[in-house]
Amino acid sequence: MSEESTEKYIVTSALPYVNGIKHLGNLVGSLLPADVYARYLKRKGKDVIYICGTDEHGTPAEISALKENLPVEEYCKKYYEIQKRIYEGFHLDFTYFGRSSAPESHKITQEIFLKQWENGFIFEKEDEQLYCLIDERFLPDRYVVGTCPHCGYERARGDQCENCSALLNPTELINPRCTICGKDQIEVRKTRHLYLDLPKLEPEVREWVEKQTHWPAVTKGIAMKWLNEGLKPRAITRNLKWGIKVPLKGYEDLRFYVWYDAPNSYIGITMQWANKIGKPEIWKKYWKDPDNTKLIQFLGSDNVPFHAIMWPASLIATRDNYVLAHMIKGFNWLTYEGGKFSTSMNRGVFTDQALELFPADYWRYYLMLIAPERQNTDFKWEGFAEAVNKDLLGSLGNLVNRVVSFLNKNFDGVIGKVDKNDPEVQALIRALKKGLENYVKEMDSYEFQKTVIILRDLWQEGNRFFQQRAPWKQVKENKEKAHVTLSAVAHFVRGIAILSEPFIPKTSETIFKNLGLDPSEVHLITLDHVVDFDSLEGKKVSSDPEILFQKIEKKQVQELIKRFGGREEKKKTKQKKKGNQKKGTISYSEFSKLDIRIGEIKTAEKIEGSDKLLKLTIDIGSELRTIVSGIGHLYTPEELIGKKTPVLVNLEPKKLKGIMSEGMLLMTGNDDIGWYFLIPEKDVPNGTKIM
């Protein structure tokens, strides 16, 4: 066995919670980049497994199951199947997509726990918790509301009062109520829980984290913050029925906390795979050979503490030889049209809807292009359409189509010999070589956005070469040379199809098909065969090439924004919220944005077709402003001329009755007592600021 083959990789994506169908944000923050990376490693010829599955334990699953009137096991199975099918639709090429509730996950979690127990990293502590007599369950903090002991707010949550923002303990609440049944049949019960002794493990965790100099800023920053604040013991059990049992006498009523069992399921799911393929021991080859295995984990930044601190600590505490993460690639957040994805407000796109609208590769490409690697990024329908129309269709699709069509029209579809002495051809080969080099460099640094841009540049490079060589002219003057041009481009296209495979696997298949190659080959060829300008010689391209992408029309974009919620809707809801609230405090900096000055009304005239609006010209010192004001029923134009009044000068201009109004008169009063000008006590020059 060569040294190369003992090097193994485990790629994991954060386990999506079983509860319902996920947003695009969930895809882009872990599942998709993990898939792209695992595919990349396969393109490098590495021994790699890509592990993921649903995270099924915990209270939310139980509650959602209640709501759907299903036993929790059935509920989880249902959503496991649904999510699995969706991810297959996105061509996520898992080695195994399992479940955290499978027997293997129970087994490994219990095994890990027992080792920690033997090694003295687990202790018991008694605690008080609220218990709902109706639901017959202990209530997690979030499932209790009651009156705040500090401010008397009646709907304070178990952990914090929204009104006075005091941090609370659920047992402090006055008249606590259960949010599951809504009743107040609650009592305080003593309960004991098991804790993982993180303070004891801290030095080892710190030493390990400090060694990870190659982690991205998001990951390392969050991990160091936790360590610097000091680790506290963390409960690993809950009072639930749904979950993994604690394998100790006297603790049979307890279940492990989700945060504790979920990451163990990466191992558990690998075991599920191992059992399924009939090699029950093979999981150890990956998870218990830390010197030769690299664990690469993809997750959203909220998950970083669990993967960078808690889980490694947990594994270290076993004193066993489990693999710890080599890379934890944390992602920031994806927003939707400038705001957040929101289930309740029905804003944003769910993964199942996405697949009904467009092929998976459209999403894969755009999402990786805007992957929130170093900052939050925004999903925009216009951006999506642009990426599809310009990059995928205009650049890649066009290149593939034009070369295949041209070969069919002029050379019976046969690819010829590439003349490698031709300097322009040499330049094209060099460009592909260089592209490959950069691609590997960026992928090895887990830089997905940058890799996508390298791909896009290569697609353009193909078009440039095609344009520069103008085979449609060559074919008339020197048919042989035209054939060289087309053959070179065909080989180039083959190369970029392989490079593009991790990102747009289905498209790469189609490209291979159009080139007359076996589509499944594109998932097998390794990167060292990308730069190859010989292998297609004599081959025949497809006589009926498949169109790679469909254009997304402007009209369609507008419809999508309308259907899924766009900016307009966001504005409205924001205004609504504000309108319902009392005026809150503003900071001085916000106040200082207001530019209010004394202005003198120079002219005033009625606006045709309006009974209240007057068009005023106001001298604000530096200039004359046109302001439309609704005071026509209070004053005649003549009365207004010469009046001095405070004017809000930097108000966003707005068209009223077709006239641009560039400011606002400030007056006092209301409709009962009338409206009055605020006239300065002493005459001041026009344009004097009001502070």
Partner RNA sequence: AGCGGGGUGGGGAAGCUAGGUUAUCCCGCGGGGCUCAUAACCCCGAGACCGAUGGUUCAAAUCCAUCCCCCGCUACCA
User: Does residue 650 interact with RNA by CB under 7 A?
Assistant: no
Residues in region 290-319 near RNA by CB under 7 A? 300-303
- Interface residue with RNA, options 149, 247, 383, 637 (CB under 7 A): 383
- Interface residue with RNA, options 85, 125, 319, 374 (CB under 7 A): 374
- Interface residue with RNA, options 209, 254, 327, 334 (CB under 7 A): 334
Report helix, strand and coil shares of the chain as percent, to nearest 5. 45, 20, 35
Question: What does the alpha-carbon distance between residue 37 and residue 502 come to, in Å, rounded to a whole number?
Answer: 7
CB of 467 to RNA, least distance (A): 4
Within 10 angstroms of residue 169's Cβ, the number of other Cβ atoms is 13
Q: Give the DSSP H or E segment for 191.
A: strand 186-196
User: Does residue 688 interact with RNA by CB under 7 A?
Assistant: no
Residue nearer to RNA on the CB measure, 449 or 686: 449
Q: Tokens 């107040």 belong to which residue?
A: 184
- Interface residue with RNA, options 47, 93, 386, 442 (CB under 7 A): 386
CB of 208 to RNA, least distance (A): 20
Residues in region 403-432 near RNA by CB under 7 A? 405-406, 409
Residue 476, SS3?
helix
Residues in region 431-450 near RNA by CB under 7 A? 449-450
User: Does residue 169 interact with RNA by CB under 7 A?
Assistant: no
Residue nearer to RNA on the CB measure, 59 or 661: 59
Q: Dmax over Cα atoms in the chain, in whole Å?
A: 99
- Interface residue with RNA, options 147, 377, 485, 487 (CB under 7 A): 377
Residue nearer to RNA on the CB measure, 550 or 626: 550
> Whats the size of the chain, residue-wise?
691
CB of 72 to RNA, least distance (A): 13
Q: Tokens 């439309």 belong to which residue?
A: 628
Q: HSE-up of 32 (CA within 13 Å, CB side)?
A: 32
DSSP secondary structure, 434-464, as one string: HHHHHHHHHHHTT-HHHHHHHHHHHHHHHHH
Cβ-proximal residues to 402 (8 Å cutoff; 6+ apart), any chain: 466
Residues in region 112-151 near RNA by CB under 7 A? 140, 142
Using the Cα atoms of residue 275, residue 276, residue 282 and residue 283 in order, give the sign of their dihedral.
negative
Within 10 angstroms of residue 128's Cβ, the number of other Cβ atoms is 12
Phi, psi of 506 (to 5 degrees): -70, -40
Residue nearer to RNA on the CB measure, 217 or 679: 217
Binding mask 50-79 for RNA (x = CB under 7 A): --------xxx-------------------
Residue nearer to RNA on the CB measure, 121 or 215: 215
Residues in region 607-646 near RNA by CB under 7 A? none
User: Does residue 393 interact with RNA by CB under 7 A?
Assistant: yes
Residue 261's nearest CA partner among 107, 455, 417 is: 107
Contact present, 503 and 36 (Cβ < 8 Å): yes
User: Does residue 365 interact with RNA by CB under 7 A?
Assistant: no
Stretch that binds RNA, among 9-17, 90-98, 513-521, 602-610 (CB under 7 A): 9-17
Q: Give the DSSP H or E segment for 177.
A: strand 174-178
User: Does residue 547 interact with RNA by CB under 7 A?
Assistant: yes
- Interface residue with RNA, options 22, 39, 84, 625 (CB under 7 A): 22
Residues in region 478-507 near RNA by CB under 7 A? none
Question: What does the alpha-carbon distance between residue 623 and residue 107 come to, in Å, rounded to a whole number?
Answer: 79
Residues in region 177-236 near RNA by CB under 7 A? 217-218, 221-222, 225
- Interface residue with RNA, options 191, 332, 353, 438 (CB under 7 A): 332
User: Does residue 678 interact with RNA by CB under 7 A?
Assistant: no
Contact present, 398 and 466 (Cβ < 8 Å): no
Residue nearer to RNA on the CB measure, 41 or 223: 223
End-to-end CA distance of the chain: 80
Residues in region 565-604 near RNA by CB under 7 A? 587, 589-590
Provide the token pair at 226: 């936790």
Residue 299, SS3?
strand
CB of 410 to RNA, least distance (A): 8
Residue nearer to RNA on the CB measure, 287 or 298: 298
Residue 7's nearest CA partner among 37, 49, 40 is: 49
- Interface residue with RNA, options 163, 212, 438, 463 (CB under 7 A): 463
